[in-house]
Amino acid sequence: MIKLLMTGVWICGVALASVYFSVQVSNKKEAVEPDPAMFGGLETVRGEVISIPVISSGAVQGYFLTRLSYTVDPERAAALTIPVPDLITDALYSALVGEPIIEFPNIERFDLETFKSHILETLNERVGETVFHDVIVEQIDFLSKEDIRSNVQQGHSLKNNPSVPRAAPPPAAPPSH
């Protein structure tokens, strides 16, 4: 009888161990190696807001506003003789004004990936090697002349309109003795 009981416990132990092992093997996912470019080694340089006039038919049609950040190799960026923000601003103007890749009056679809890769290529060509690894878009706007005029007129009408309620000035503090 004890022999039969010990055999049953042994079979249950083997069955539980095999189920546990098979569940562990099936749930074990392959370790995904993170992209080394995104972890360690690179720094992010935050760009300034750049306002580029959009000229078409001999007149300013509006302004392209953008703020981009860049991932750079810190050792290579430190070796540059031109400050990185100045280099970025110059390359942006060269890429967006010198070689217009965006036709704003006739824009039907804006390809963000082409825009980013063009900026990245322009920066690295300017330096002569791969210092910039990625372009991160923080802001992209286009303000037409009509948008600017309507905003300016709306601002003037609020200032000159007496029917617009204004906040009362705070009461003066009583003089202290």
Residue spans per domain, the chain: 43-146
User: Is 58 a residue whose pLDDT tops 50?
Assistant: yes
Q: Tell me the CA distances in angstroms from 99 to 11, 54, 118, 126, 172, one per residue in order.
A: 77, 12, 10, 14, 59
The contacts of residue 132 (CB under 8 Å, 6+ apart) are: 70, 71, 72, 120, 123, 124
Q: Select, from the ranges 29-43, 53-67, 70-84, the one with the highest average predicted confidence (pLDDT).
A: 70-84
User: Is 165 a residue whose pLDDT tops 70?
Assistant: no
User: Is 166 a residue whose pLDDT tops 50?
Assistant: no
Domain boundaries 43-146, corresponding CATH code: 3.30.479
In this structure, are residues 63 and 146 in contact, taking their beta carbons and an 8 Å threshold?
Answer: no
Model-level pTM? 0.58
Judged by average pLDDT, the poorest of 73-87, 125-139, 155-169 is 155-169
User: Is 34 a residue whose pLDDT tops 70?
Assistant: no
Pull the structure tokens for residue 42: 């690179």
Burial of 70 (0-12, 13-18, 19+ CB in 10 A): buried
pLDDT band at 21 (very low <50, low <70, confident <90, very high): confident
pLDDT band at 143 (very low <50, low <70, confident <90, very high): confident
The predicted structure's pLDDT at residue 147: 81
